[in-house]
Amino acid sequence: MKKLIKRLPVLGLALAATAAFAFNMPIEEESMATRVWTPDASQPDGYRDVTAIAEEGNYDCNLSSDECLVEFSNDDPASGTKTILQDGEFEAQ
């Protein structure tokens, strides 16, 4: 019985460490996107870079269920994770 009592702190520490790792939430990667895209079927990857137009505000997104402005986590439509910034159909002014 004395051996069991002496090992309780070690058992408690092991249990606490296991619980800490089991309930730890993964950290989400921050977006590294610096460019804005709009769907364009004529482009090889299906998206056209409209960063300059979007920064100047010389565009409209009409009311539709399409994607108007999107960004990709690594600024590459072929391999990045897409985030829709605004719905609609992109129209440059």
> Binning pLDDT at 50, 70 and 90, where does residue 90 land?
very high
pLDDT of residue 30: 58
Model confidence pLDDT, tens digit, residues 58-85: 899 988 878 999 999 899 999 999 999 9
Strands ordered across the beta sheet of 82-92 = 47-49, 37-39, 59-72, 82-92
Model confidence pLDDT, tens digit, residues 12-70: 888 877 777 777 666 555 557 899 999 999 999 999 999 999 999 989 998 887 899 99
Task: Tell me how crowded residue 55 is: count the other CB atoms within 10 A of its CB.
Answer: 10
The DSSP element (H or E) to which 69 belongs, if any, is strand 59-72
